[in-house]
């Protein structure tokens, strides 16, 4: 008996999903539930390098017709490419100490990022695209190059299930390293709270684009990091330096919220200007919403 999308909805809740111990099972539950509601998978490989136009021949795919050329010449031409390949997807997960933060009743940002990464990995391999994984903090901790086999997928699940937050943030430096290692363009999916110097992170993101990669940035935050809705008195501890600050949050809440709005708006603006898909998430966001956002972004690549 085929299950409907509604049968899987309970697994879209991050807190419920966290109770499933097996990373592969988590990914399968979310993906199968999500894809059930689609007529066909919208995730496909893309052509690497445009070469030239040639006249349309019977049997050519209609989607390859260049309608702009048709409008000018009243003749059918299709685009030819130097290399046709399945997609190579590079998942890049931030595992610095700040990603361990979790407010009451929520999972940590790192857990959320790991669940999302495992789901995307499962989805890519299911459609015969290659996927790899990089985990970083101050430096690269794990680096698995893209492959499209189910056996290799197990290695990705293993790495994600074992990841723990540790060390300070080195987002910009690590992203530059990943960008240099990519030899042929693909789809780069970054999962991070972006708690590093914004100008340096943006430089690294532009590095991926300079090498002609498509980039999707999942900006993962805890709800409290956006609202700053703490109690009357609180002790704040820097998760990377252990420095502590005692304060009354309501005194600085307004200024903090404004600074956070500017922080998010800056990333949205800069990503838009450099053709990077920016997706803001918090750890209370159901996975179906996160995946649908990704789906909408991915469809634009075709």
- Per-residue model confidence (pLDDT) at position 272: 95
Question: What 3 state SS string does the chain have?
Answer: CCCCHHHHHHHHCHHHHCCCCCHHHHHHHHHHHHHHCCCCCCCCCCCCCEEEEEECCCCCCHHHECHHHHHHHCCCEEEEECCCCCCEEEEEEECCHHHHCCCCCCCCHHHHHHHHHHHHHHHHHHCCCEEEEEEECCCEEEEEEEECCHHHHHHHHHHHHHCCCCCCCCHHHHHHHHHHHCCCCCEEEEEECCCCCHHHHHHHHHHHHHCCCEEEEEEEECHHHHHCCCCCCEEEECCCCCCEEEECHHHHHHHHHHHHHHHHHHHHHHHHHCCCEEEEEECCCCHHHHHHHHHHHHHCCC
Burial of 104: CB neighbours in 10 Å, binned 0-12, 13-18, 19+: exposed
- pLDDT higher than 90, residue 288: no
Mean pLDDT of 168-192: 93
- pLDDT higher than 50, residue 223: yes
**Sorting pLDDT into bands at 50, 70 and 90, what band is 82?**
very low
Q: pLDDT higher for 221 or 35? A: 221
Residue 18 burial (CB count, 10 A): 16
Look up the CATH architecture of domain 5-39+85-299: 3-Layer(aba) Sandwich (3.40)
Mean pLDDT of 276-300: 81
Pairwise CA distance, residues 285 & 204, whole Å: 27
Mean pLDDT of 23-46: 60
**Sorting pLDDT into bands at 50, 70 and 90, what band is 242?**
low
**Sorting pLDDT into bands at 50, 70 and 90, what band is 38?**
very low
The average confidence (pLDDT) of the chain is: 81
- pLDDT higher than 50, residue 45: no
Pairwise CA distance, residues 112 & 127, whole Å: 23
- Per-residue model confidence (pLDDT) at position 2: 47
**Sorting pLDDT into bands at 50, 70 and 90, what band is 299?**
low
Beta strands 77-81 and 50-55 are: antiparallel
Could you report the per-residue pLDDT of 126-169, keeping only the tens digit for each? 877 889 999 999 999 999 999 988 889 999 999 999 999 987 88
pTM of the predicted model, to two decimals? 0.76
- pLDDT higher than 70, residue 249: no
Domain boundaries, the chain: 5-39+85-299, 50-81
- pLDDT higher than 70, residue 250: no
Mean pLDDT of 262-289: 92
Mean pLDDT of 53-70: 76
**Sorting pLDDT into bands at 50, 70 and 90, what band is 191?**
very high
Give me the percent of the chain exceeding a pLDDT of 90: 41
């Amino acid at each position: 008996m085929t299950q409907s999308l509604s049968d899987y909805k309970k697994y879209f809740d991050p807190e419920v999903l966290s109770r499933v111990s097996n990373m592969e099972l988590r990914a399968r539950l979310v993906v199968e539930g999500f894809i059930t509601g689609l007529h066909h998978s919208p995730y496909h490989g893309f052509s690497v390098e445009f070469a030239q136009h040639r006249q349309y021949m019977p049997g050519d795919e209609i989607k390859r017709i260049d309608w702009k050329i048709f409008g000018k010449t009243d003749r059918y031409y299709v685009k030819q490419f130097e290399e046709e390949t399945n997609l190579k997807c590079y998942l890049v997960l931030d595992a610095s100490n700040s990603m361990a933060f979790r407010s009451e009743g929520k999972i940590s940002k790192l857990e959320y990022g790991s669940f999302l990464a495992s789901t995307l990995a499962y989805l890519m391999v299911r459609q015969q695209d290659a996927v790899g994984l990089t985990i970083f903090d101050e430096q690269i901790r794990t680096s698995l190059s893209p492959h499209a086999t189910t056996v290799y997928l197990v290695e990705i699940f293993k790495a994600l299930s074992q990841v723990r937050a540790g060390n300070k943030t080195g987002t910009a430096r690590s992203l530059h390293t990943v960008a240099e290692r990519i030899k042929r363009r693909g789809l780069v999916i970054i999962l991070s709270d972006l708690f590093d110097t914004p100008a340096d992170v943006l430089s690294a993101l532009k590095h991926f684009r300079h090498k002609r990669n498509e980039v999707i940035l999942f900006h993962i935050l805890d709800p409290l990091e956006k609202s700053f809705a703490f109690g009357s008195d609180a002790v704040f501890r820097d998760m990377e330096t252990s420095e502590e600050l005692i304060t009354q949050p309501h005194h600085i809440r307004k200024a903090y919220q404004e600074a956070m709005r500017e922080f998010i708006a800056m990333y949205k603006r800069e990503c838009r200007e450099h053709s990077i898909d920016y997706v803001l998430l918090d750890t209370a966001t159901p996975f179906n919403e996160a995946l649908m956002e990704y789906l909408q972004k991915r469809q634009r690549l075709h």
